[in-house]
Amino acid sequence: MERNGTAYSSKDFSSDQDVRWCPGCGDYSILKQMQTVLPELGINRKDLVFISGIGCSSRFPYYMNSYGMHSIHGRAPAVATGLKAANPELSVWVITGDGDGLSIGGNHLIHALRRNLDINILLFNNEIYGLTKGQYSPTSELGKYTKSSPLGSIDHPFNPLSLALGADATFVARTVDRDPTHLREVLKRAHEHKGTSYVEIYQNCNVFNDGAFEPWTDKKQRDANSIILQQGQPLVYDGGNKGLRLDGLKPQIVDLTEGFSQSELWVHDEKDATKAHILSRFFNHEPGPDKFPRPFGILYSEDRFTYEEAMQNQLDKALELQGKGNLDELIRGKSTWEVE
Amino acid sequence: MTMTTREEKRSKVTIHFAGDSGDGIQLAGSQFTLTTALQGNDLSTFPDFPAEIRAPIGTVAGVSGFQINFGSEEINTPGSNPDVLVAMNAAAFKKNIRNLKKGGIIIANEAGFDKRNLRLAHMDESVNPLDEVRASDYQLYRVDITKLNREALQDLELGMKERDRSRNMFALGFVYWLFHRNLDPTLQFLTHKFQTDPIVLEANIRALKKGYHYGETIEAVKRYSIESAKLKPGTYRNIVGNQALAMGLIAASQKAGLNLFYAGYPITPASDILHFLSRHKNFNVKTFQAEDEIAAITAAIGASFGGSMGVTATSGPGMALKGEALGLAVMLELPLVIVNVQRGGPSTGLPTKTEQADLLQAVYGRNGESPIPVIAARSPSDCFWVAFEASRMAVEYMTPVIVLSDGYIANGAEPWRFPKSDDLGKIQAPYFSGKEEYLPYKRNDKLVRSWVLPGQEGLEHRIGGLEKEKETGNVSYDPENHEEMVKIRAERIARIADDYPALERIQGPPKGRVLVLGWGSTFGSIKVAVRNAISEGLEVSQLHLRHVFPLPNDLGDIISGYDQVLIPELNNGQLSKLIRQEYDASVTAFNKIQGLPFRADEVLEKIRELHGA
């Protein structure tokens, strides 16, 4: 994208405000990758808007040199819905977290997903309440010890991707703060998707929940525990040693060193809703050699009309059927009488 | 034997239609209203229905009522004691007979008084109450509407249930005959409503006409005629409050050159605003039925941020849910209109009944110091003006504005000498002029910040709910800055009162013994009460507030001219509290909290009391 004859650089998207997340927070990486990828997306900065709720992640808009609103706890998807419906020209990004998006704002999130406005929802998942100093969140694992759960959490956690698929989201992806290349690639795809793009980003809170995603980020463990989804490619992981196949609808781990050929493997198709549901269920808290790997990438992507298009179509239809609204005729109504 | 029906002229008549909530009472009432309006009478209506869609059949709890007061003279209220009671069943009779004027007319549907109906109404099954009505007390018409109507529709291919469904038209027809009403408006209405169902259309038309001719057949004692009212010359229409409110919003959006974005969650008695607007998308109106009340207001805020006129409407419980977002709107300083069509509270309270108990919630009901202007509608047609004024204030002063209506005027109707669009003022949004450096919270002489919309090149900025630094709008935790910002937000709302038009007394002397001060939907009852008090020789005046927050600058001076201020309210004394707090005045609160509007005689009695009469 060009501005005054020069292309945007990442600096053009950086505001003059000091970034105030804790040193070492995963949010820095996400902010950096967003600012890095934006010049490639072809969005005119004047049309770019970030809307957030409340929480650590929700400070994000203040650090972006674009339009932005730091709204109230959990309501960013609703604010974004009104904004995008009113002004479809804008590129609208919702920044939310696991507490903001899945707890207090859970209702708005699922309804935004089903409506399918052309917006992007980035859910920074750190499995903890950070800004309120360390209570268990709706994605914290069962039994988690926190300030508000000294005997362990008894809340069964949400599976954020299954939840989104259950709400009929049209774009469902997962990425992680520690993998900048993958993160940028997913952000780019989210932008390109026409409809609500829902991206769960694993984000390390090094103060209250350090290492929560280590099985999927630590160089020694991640290959064995995670699988990178690529459209049209067989599901292979663990350095090519393991693969996944489907026996009907039942997924199986196969050892590629023991005679299984790649041609027998499950080939990723992000347009397949059933398979996306199966992938989203790969959600064991404790990873292990017999456990399914955690998938990263785009689980699901579907072309569906957007809410703002449908809304505009109704306005056009009304114009066609009723004619352009005439204020005097409206006020006058159908039946009047004269008083002399 | 033949008798001639006598003719009588009346200047004013009050009719109360009552029946089961499935009897079509509201439809009959609204048709009588339209017809009567078109005949040139002044009128006022009061629909009163149960919260349940189909409450248990035949019970008192399930009675739906519609009262209309109409006449050749000025009408300000739906009337206190009806002259005519149309009772479709025993429960309707039981509930309303005590209000009927002595000498009044009862039109009773005979079939609705059988043993079963008496039992359902918890009345003595062995005595038909109609047998007990003394001719010296009331003029009783016992009409076997169910039977006559079934006979009239005998040859139509309709089930019994469907036949009985047009009984309301039979009853309406008879009332039309009694009061010399023209059948045409209702015939036109039916033709349109049932255009796809010719048999049902035929049934309804026949029922209406049979009812009308029934009056002649039985040679009723008297027919009544009511001459046209001597209203101010002009063109009139009939208008219902919620309809007027929705039209006011559309008018304001057009005059401001903004698209209207209306977000709402279904709630009684505000939903009709959403219904109306969703039928008028050809005015560039976008309507959004949100997942909840919070989403409705936050989506409206999002739309305002994007450059539309964001509006949401609700009732008390929904208003409570919107509280936090109202605070956000105060911080953002964006245009936003929030309508509260009040109903009985607290909690779910009385969803279909009227009350004015959300005034203090509107003025104070948020965390932190968060002043929001509050304005209130006084009658169905005034809803138009108040919606227009609220939108103007919201846009021109970049602020949320709360509109208070209530169930009584939202569903009530009156004739309206409507304006021409050219007579409506223009609304000017304070867009950024571009002449100087843009700072998001830099203010003009009215302390209003300028409006920059996403999409404007080079003016990218962030706003939010955190306290902001003066002018730049950047997040600030500075203690002095916070105090200054709180004062600025208070001052900029207070200054709106400098632009109000001068208060105008409705009636009575500029100084004297008693000032009756009201706000909102009590206007009509107070007007009648004060007029009658004045004609009794009492020294009393009437003043009615539109702007309830901030209060008008000239209110104190006016109040100080009277020995006493009487404040009638449908709550436990909320404006009274505000007035006592602001002014040194001798305030008498007069409160009614029954889910019903004031009757004029109740207010009159209170005025007499204050005069020691």
| Nearest beta carbon to residue A79 from set B230, B301, B324 | B301
Q: For position B48, what pLDDT does the model report?
A: 87
Q: How far apart are CA B149 and CA B164, in angstroms?
A: 7
| Nearest beta carbon to residue B288 from set A45, A79, A85 | A85
The dihedrals phi and psi of B205, each to the nearest 5 degrees, come to -65, -45
CATH code of the domain containing B530: 3.40.50.920
Does B283 lie at the interface with A, CB-CB under 8 angstroms?
yes
Q: How many CA atoms lie within 13 A of A54 on its CB side?
A: 15
- Is A81–B308 a contact, with Cβ atoms under 8 angstroms apart? no
Q: How far apart are CA A218 and CA A290, in angstroms?
A: 19
Residues of B within 8 A of A57 (CB-CB) are none
Position B504 in a domain: no
Task: Give strand pairing partners of B285.
Answer: B260
- Give the SS3 label for residue B263: strand
| Nearest beta carbon to residue A87 from set B290, B306, B475 | B306
Q: How many domains does chain B have?
A: 4
- Is A327–B254 a contact, with Cβ atoms under 8 angstroms apart? yes
| Nearest beta carbon to residue A327 from set B324, B421, B454 | B421
Averaged pLDDT, B138-156: 94
Does B193 lie at the interface with A, CB-CB under 8 angstroms?
no
Instruction: Please name the residues in contact with B63: beta carbons below 8 A apart, sequence gap of 6 or more.
Output: B18, B19, B20, B21, B50, B91, B92, B95, B96
Instruction: Answer whether residue A5 shows pLDDT above 60.
Output: no
Count the helix, strand and coil residues of chain A and give each as a percent rounded to the nearest 5: 35, 20, 40
Does B294 lie at the interface with A, CB-CB under 8 angstroms?
yes
Kindly report, residue by residue over B406-445, the tens digit of the pLDDT: 999 999 999 999 999 999 999 999 999 988 999 999 999 9
Q: Which of B407, B423, B439 is the last residue of a domain?
A: B423
- Is B464–A315 a contact, with Cβ atoms under 8 angstroms apart? no
Report the candidate in A164, A181, A71 with the shortest Cα–Cα distance to residue A120: A164
Instruction: Answer whether residue A1 shows pLDDT above 90.
Output: no
Q: For position B334, what pLDDT does the model report?
A: 98
Model confidence at B21, in pLDDT bands (50, 70, 90)? confident
Model confidence at B613, in pLDDT bands (50, 70, 90)? low
State whether B13 and B132 are in the same domain: yes
Distance from CA of B433 to the nearest CA of A (A): 17
Position B231 in a domain: no
In chain B, positions 161-180, which contact chain A (CB-CB < 8 Å)? none
| Nearest beta carbon to residue A78 from set B283, B298, B454 | B298
Does B247 lie at the interface with A, CB-CB under 8 angstroms?
yes
| Helix (H) or strand (E) segment spanning residue B90 | helix B90-96
Instruction: Answer whether residue B281 shows pLDDT above 80.
Output: yes
A215-220 contacts at long range (C-beta below 8 A, 24 or more positions apart): A215/A287, A215/A294, A216/A176, A216/A287, A216/A294, A216/A296, A217/A176, A217/A178, A217/A179
Kindly report, residue by residue over B539-598, the tens digit of the pLDDT: 999 999 999 999 999 999 999 999 999 999 999 999 999 999 999 999 999 999 999 999
Residues of B within 8 A of A330 (CB-CB) are 247, 250-251, 280, 283
| Nearest beta carbon to residue B464 from set A45, A64, A71 | A71
Model confidence pTM above 0.90? yes
Nearest residue on chain B to A333, alpha-carbon basis: B237
State whether B88 and B19 are in the same domain: yes
Does B236 lie at the interface with A, CB-CB under 8 angstroms?
yes
Q: For position A6, what pLDDT does the model report?
A: 57
State whether B242 and B179 are in the same domain: no
Q: Where are the domains of chain A?
A: 2-237+267-301
Residues of A within 8 A of B457 (CB-CB) are 46
| Nearest beta carbon to residue A62 from set B231, B238, B475 | B475
Q: For position A259, what pLDDT does the model report?
A: 83
Q: How far apart are CA B300 and CA B140, in angstroms?
A: 54
Q: How far apart are CA A128 and CA A248, in angstroms?
A: 37
Q: Which range is least confidently modeled, A222-231, B217-226, B452-461, B499-508?
A: B217-226
Kindly report, residue by residue over A35-54, the tens digit of the pLDDT: 999 999 999 999 999 999 99
Nearest residue on chain B to A107, alpha-carbon basis: B291
Provide the 8-state DSSP code for A293. Answer: P
CATH code of the domain containing B103: 3.40.920.10
Q: Which of B33, B43, B235, B460 is the mutation pick for testing A, counting most A CBs within 10 A?
A: B460
Position B117 in a domain: yes
Please, what is the average pLDDT of chain B? 96
Does B476 lie at the interface with A, CB-CB under 8 angstroms?
no
Q: For position B3, what pLDDT does the model report?
A: 60
Does B248 lie at the interface with A, CB-CB under 8 angstroms?
no
Position B506 in a domain: no
Instruction: Answer whether residue B258 shows pLDDT above 90.
Output: yes
Instruction: Answer whether residue A340 shows pLDDT above 90.
Output: no
Q: Which of B196, B225, B254 is the last residue of a domain?
A: B225
Residues of B within 8 A of A17 (CB-CB) are 474-475
State whether B411 and B460 are in the same domain: no
Contact B373, B587 (CB under 8 A): no
State whether B258 and B353 are in the same domain: yes
Contact B506, B558 (CB under 8 A): no
Preceding peptide of B50 cis, ω within 30°: no
Residues of A within 8 A of B384 (CB-CB) are 331
Q: How far apart are CA B610 and CA B567, in angstroms?
A: 12
- Is B306–A324 a contact, with Cβ atoms under 8 angstroms apart? no
Q: How far apart are CA B428 and CA A240, in angstroms?
A: 66
Residue B434 belongs to what domain range? Answer: 430-499
- Is A82–B474 a contact, with Cβ atoms under 8 angstroms apart? no
Contact A71, A62 (CB under 8 A): no
State whether B537 and B488 are in the same domain: no
Distance from CA of B52 to the nearest CA of A (A): 27
Q: Tally C-beta pairs within 8 A across A and B.
A: 213
Kindly report, residue by residue over B73-115, the tens digit of the pLDDT: 999 999 999 999 999 999 999 999 999 999 999 999 999 999 9
Six token digits for residue B313: 């409407």
Q: Which fold has domain A2-237+267-301?
A: Rossmann fold (3.40.50)
Q: How far apart are CA B29 and CA B37, in angstroms?
A: 12
Residues of B within 8 A of A70 (CB-CB) are 462-466
The dihedrals phi and psi of A236, each to the nearest 5 degrees, come to -125, 140
Instruction: Answer whether residue A152 shows pLDDT above 90.
Output: yes
| Nearest beta carbon to residue B454 from set A85, A87, A108 | A87
Q: How far apart are CA A286 and CA B77, in angstroms?
A: 72
Q: Which of A60, A84, A87 is the mutation pick for testing B, counting most B CBs within 10 A?
A: A87
Does B259 lie at the interface with A, CB-CB under 8 angstroms?
yes
State whether B419 and B434 are in the same domain: no
Whole-Å CA distances, A34 to A8, A184, A185: 13, 7, 10
State whether B62 and B187 are in the same domain: yes
State whether B251 and B383 are in the same domain: yes
Distance from CA of B288 to the nearest CA of A (A): 8
Residues of A within 8 A of B298 (CB-CB) are 71-72, 75, 78-79, 82, 108
Instruction: Answer whether residue A2 shows pLDDT above 80.
Output: no
Residues of B within 8 A of A321 (CB-CB) are 282
Averaged pLDDT, A312-334: 97
Pairing relationship of beta strands A2-3 and A6-7 according to DSSP bridges: antiparallel
Model confidence at B1, in pLDDT bands (50, 70, 90)? very low
Residues of A within 8 A of B309 (CB-CB) are none
Does B302 lie at the interface with A, CB-CB under 8 angstroms?
yes
Position B354 in a domain: yes
Burial of B292 (0-12, 13-18, 19+ CB in 10 A): middle
Position B507 in a domain: no
Q: Which of B182, B199, B225 is the last residue of a domain?
A: B225
